[in-house]
Chains A and B, each alone.
Chain A
């Protein structure tokens, strides 16, 4: 059923179905009208777009050190740059997160989900006029999986064993079955380049809706509309300008004075002031990113589950969302998945702030003395404030937390994933499987809670190859409960992506995939004069 719903949504996205037809078929399939309505609404917002104009975006995250090679794209700025000039094989649906065709027209898994065949779209032209071939696709994927690769997508590509062509089809063979493979190919590093970018990784030649006109790292990037774009439902403005603005106040000033149309990373502390400006609209999208307090399950004193439980019950989640996120977020439940993921296991009880239970577990753990928590403002915006708030709420349960502020420089190398109790953040992943495999599998490089559980690993691998969705959902429920009740993760909040635009900007699509409409903001919006 879920598949069929996704299929319908996809048809709407591709413009192959109108509202009446969609509702009719959805009703016939027994999908609630309200659900169907929201599904349609996301794409219906894109009706009657106006073409033309010059779109200016003021974005945080650019640096003079940014590389033009998509394999090395890291910053928010380069993320949007890449989305403008390039295409992946697969995209994810803005609200359901399901894979939708991009340069790959369709795909078929083998019965055990370990071999996948992709049909590549025909008649697509690169910006330099050359036609996209299967060879370009294969070379691109090889460049990102090569053992000498410096690609940011190396982690997600590890499971691909063989990349080859079968006539004009792409065949990927995996080391083990993976029902979510198409979603892995939505990774923003995996832009298909001519000859895989082996000749000129920095050329910024792709198949995207905009051609790069100029690029100065850490300063500015400008784009012209690609007249030969293979899609007509995107790229509405004639030209796009991205301006690097790393200062939050500068972004707000530029937006409220009308110098730019769109900004990212609005500080939760000032969002309420910005909201009052008559020309400005706040665009917040709930997402999968989350702010975390992480304990190493194998390091004393955190190897004691009672102490971990005591610390979990000491967290006042509502206050965190209110104070740290300014209300732009949702409370977390100590496992890294929320209802934006497909196959979210509903009905797991929400953990609440409970000083009595915390005190009970703390006493049972036999621990005494202060617990050292390391934090820094680079861990997430407001991390130091959050640590102090946490210190206060834990004090009421009789637990003493010592907050140590670490230098932001080198935090990711020296504190995160090194020290036994620290603050951090996670961006979301396209699937539950990928989130758990990245940070909760025993062998994962980034297992930052040292959650070493063979029984958990076993279920994770089984779920990965399971094509029956009901069974899979049950497995995900078991896994979520294990992490929630036995893991080293304290997850107080999922943060919203908070952007803002002038009222002139229309058609912004709230995309659960990632910040700034999953990076597609410039390709999806248009300017209403």
Chain B
């Protein structure tokens, strides 16, 4: 939403090393552009300008935080409208084919579904602002408590998939650059492309077939529950983590390779080469920091995917994560649960994108110290 509008701020928008990447304009344009919808802008225009100038990073974070509150509000409104637009309400979908008019009527009255949409949304919002997300309509359990468990499971899985896949992807990307157009580069490319081309459920099934059914070395199903020890949990998530690593690896690896190669063709790398520096040193010291912004963005997107987009993997491996929880809730139009899940997912995307932008700025001295 911030790509549009002129770049009027003091931060240089052209001439950055990664100028070829489309996201860089968005990146550097952000702290400079005063947003009329932004509440803080009204306090003192000149103060804000000076603040932006002196502490661009702090200003960026403040502005992003303010915007994300607005965004989350918009998301909640859209989710609520979306559920309303879906055919059938909670009472009819929950009872399904076995619905009787009287039971439907009783549930509607019980949950206040007979009241107008705006009234229901406002009463939900009233609770949510105070941190009370209500109780699930279907199971009557507290949404907060339920999500706590599920989110913990999702983060656990995503964390281990990330600490395996991110270093692996970046490392392989660098390796591919070092051996570019030679055999290691080609092997890395072919294997990772094959892994990303297969649908994730198929990768999952293949792993289950070989490691759980044929060789019997892996744990399946990957169901985790409270009474499990950490080692049991780790063994349970081995196969889903392997699947996720295979799925996200290629994207990050190829972006690393492309970004570094892009930088490698620039003049200062040639200079470094002429100075007689070793290839790996050039990549690690000179090329990588300048290539970090696009890579970080891809990593952030993939991390977000690992948290919110892995419902298929959850189903295949019978893993109780957030994705399955939200799908179950949408199926029966369980509004409080859908709202809470949707907001958490949105918050993750916003947070990870913000983190990616901040890291990109920190990694690039020219963005860190604007003229």
Closest B-chain residue to A63, C-beta based? B328
Closest A-chain residue to B141, C-beta based? A217
Query: Nearest Cβ distance between residue A184 and chain B, in whole angstroms?
Result: 15
Indicate if the CB atoms of B146 and A64 lie closer than 8 Å: yes
Given contacts A219-B223, A409-B331, contact A65 B87 (CB under 8 A): no
Residues of A within 8 A of B316 (CB): 247, 249-250
Indicate if the CB atoms of B315 and A247 lie closer than 8 Å: yes
Indicate if the CB atoms of B139 and A152 lie closer than 8 Å: no
Residues of B within 8 A of A64 (CB): 139, 146, 150, 324-325, 328-329, 337
Residues of A within 8 A of B86 (CB): 409-410
Indicate if the CB atoms of A254 and B220 lie closer than 8 Å: yes
Of residues 138 through 161 on chain A, the ones whose CB sits less than 8 Å from some CB of chain B are 147-152, 154-155
Contacting residue for B94 out of A65, A147, A155, A244, CB 8 A? A65
Mark B272-315 against chain A: 1 for CB-CB distance below 8 A, else 0.
00000000000000000000000000000000000000000001
Indicate if the CB atoms of A249 and B205 lie closer than 8 Å: yes
Contacting residue for A250 out of B137, B315, B320, B324, CB 8 A? B315
Instruction: Judge whether B93 is part of the interface by a CB distance below 8 angstroms.
Output: yes
Instruction: Judge whether A416 is part of the interface by a CB distance below 8 angstroms.
Output: yes
Indicate if the CB atoms of B329 and A74 lie closer than 8 Å: no
| Distance A413 CA – B140 CA, assembled complex (angstroms) | 23
| Distance A391 CA – B95 CA, assembled complex (angstroms) | 31
**Interface segment out of the listed B22-30, B48-56, B206-214, B252-260:** B206-214
Indicate if the CB atoms of A154 and B102 lie closer than 8 Å: yes
Query: Nearest Cβ distance between residue A95 and chain B, in whole angstroms?
Result: 26
Instruction: Judge whether A412 is part of the interface by a CB distance below 8 angstroms.
Output: yes
Given contacts A218-B324, A409-B331, A410-B88, contact A154 B221 (CB under 8 A): no
Query: Nearest Cβ distance between residue A329 and chain B, in whole angstroms?
Result: 20
Indicate if the CB atoms of A150 and B139 lie closer than 8 Å: no
Given contacts A150-B107, A218-B328, A413-B88, contact A68 B317 (CB under 8 A): no
| Distance A202 CA – B337 CA, assembled complex (angstroms) | 19
Query: Nearest Cβ distance between residue A225 and chain B, in whole angstroms?
Result: 18
Indicate if the CB atoms of B139 and A414 lie closer than 8 Å: no
Instruction: Judge whether A259 is part of the interface by a CB distance below 8 angstroms.
Output: yes
Indicate if the CB atoms of B92 and A413 lie closer than 8 Å: yes
Residues of A within 8 A of B329 (CB): 64-65
Indicate if the CB atoms of A65 and B223 lie closer than 8 Å: no
Contacting residue for A202 out of B140, B213, B318, CB 8 A? B140
Number of interface residues of A (CB under 8 A): 44
Instruction: Judge whether B96 is part of the interface by a CB distance below 8 angstroms.
Output: yes
Instruction: Judge whether B193 is part of the interface by a CB distance below 8 angstroms.
Output: no
Closest A-chain residue to B146, C-beta based? A64
Residues of A within 8 A of B139 (CB): 64-68, 217
Indicate if the CB atoms of A152 and B212 lie closer than 8 Å: no
- Secondary structure type dominating chain B contacts: helix
Residues of B within 8 A of A152 (CB): 95, 98, 103
- Secondary structure type dominating chain A contacts: loop
Indicate if the CB atoms of B318 and A243 lie closer than 8 Å: yes
Closest B-chain residue to A448, C-beta based? B97
Indicate if the CB atoms of B110 and A150 lie closer than 8 Å: yes
| Distance A19 CA – B100 CA, assembled complex (angstroms) | 45
Indicate if the CB atoms of A250 and B140 lie closer than 8 Å: no
| Distance A130 CA – B318 CA, assembled complex (angstroms) | 37
Given contacts A65-B337, A154-B103, contact A250 B138 (CB under 8 A): no
Contacting residue for A148 out of B93, B106, B136, B138, CB 8 A? B106
| Distance A69 CA – B136 CA, assembled complex (angstroms) | 14
Indicate if the CB atoms of A147 and B318 lie closer than 8 Å: no
Query: Nearest Cβ distance between residue A277 and chain B, in whole angstroms?
Result: 9
Indicate if the CB atoms of B318 and A250 lie closer than 8 Å: yes
Indicate if the CB atoms of A259 and B98 lie closer than 8 Å: no
Mark A282-312 against chain B: 1 for CB-CB distance below 8 A, else 0.
0000000000000000000000000000000
Instruction: Judge whether B36 is part of the interface by a CB distance below 8 angstroms.
Output: no
Residues of B within 8 A of A68 (CB): 139
Q: Which of B212, B316, B318 has the most CB of A within 10 A?
A: B318
Indicate if the CB atoms of A253 and B208 lie closer than 8 Å: yes
Q: Which of A150, A154, A155, A414 has the most CB of B within 10 A?
A: A150
Contacting residue for A410 out of B93, B107, B141, CB 8 A? B93
Residues of B within 8 A of A412 (CB): 88, 92-93, 96-97, 99
| Distance A150 CA – B113 CA, assembled complex (angstroms) | 15
Given contacts A410-B87, A414-B87, contact A218 B320 (CB under 8 A): yes
Could you list some 13 contacts between A and B, CB below 8 A?
A64-B337, A65-B137, A65-B334, A74-B96, A148-B106, A152-B95, A216-B149, A217-B141, A244-B318, A249-B205, A254-B318, A256-B213, A414-B88
The 5 closest A-B pairs by CB, nearest first: A65-B138, A410-B87, A413-B88, A63-B328, A64-B328
Q: Which residues of A approach B to under 8 Å, CB–CB?
A: 58, 63-69, 74, 147-152, 154-155, 202, 214, 216-220, 243-247, 249-250, 253-254, 256-257, 259, 409-410, 412-414, 416, 424, 445
Q: A152-B98, A247-B318 are in contact. List 9 more A-B contacts (CB 8 A).
A: A67-B140, A152-B95, A216-B149, A217-B141, A243-B318, A253-B220, A257-B212, A409-B86, A412-B99
